[in-house]
Amino acid sequence: MIEFHYRLTQFFNMNLSRNFTLSELIKSDTAIRKGINNNPNAEQIEKLKALCENILQPVRDHFGRVKVTSGFRSVDLCVAIGSSPNSQHAKAEAADFECIGVDNAELFDWIKSNLEPDQLILEFYTPGEPNSGWIHASWVEGTPRASYLHAYKSEGKTKYKPIIGKAVDLV
């Protein structure tokens, strides 16, 4: 039993890149509360590593601490929280995050100019309110879609609009 716990701790503390551990990319209060298995398989762990190496670590190196609010979500967890089981979170290709003290529009623009996300979404950001919303970014092997979107609520529904220029210019 002690050996089992030791190996489990080692598993969760596994580094995906210099500053990111597996536990940060899979933690979910809902999964814990409802006893849902949110552990990725070996192939999904490799994809989370690629996401960290190509998106999260460069953001960390440039802006400092990154707060990951949601990374991998198993299909069971997606169903429990009403998120699509087809989302890139379920494929271990996406994460939602913020950098403390950094305007999310500024963060969006830096990623767009410096990295190669598959899809980058400025989620529920209100122009003029730097702390509003968060960033959703995905990374895939091969050719990225280079999809840049602003998600917002309109009449109770989530809508997406392409961001053509800079997010800091949104009004």
Instruction: Note the residues at the interface with Zn ion (CB under 5 A).
Output: 96, 136
**Shortest distance, position 168 Cβ to Zn ion, whole Å:** 21
Buried b (16+ CB within 10 A) or exposed e, 60-87: beebeebebebbbbbeebbebeeeeeee
Of 8 and 159, which CB lies nearer to Zn ion in the complex structure? 159
Min CB(88)–Zn ion separation in Å: 7
Q: In the complex, what is the shortest distance from the CB of residue 4 to Zn ion, in angstroms, rounded to a whole number?
A: 32
In the complex with Zn ion, the residue whose CB is nearer, 112 or 136, is 136
Residue among 47 and 136 whose Cβ is closer to Zn ion: 136
Helix (H, G, I), strand (E, B) or coil at 42: helix
Closest chain position to Zn ion (CB):
136
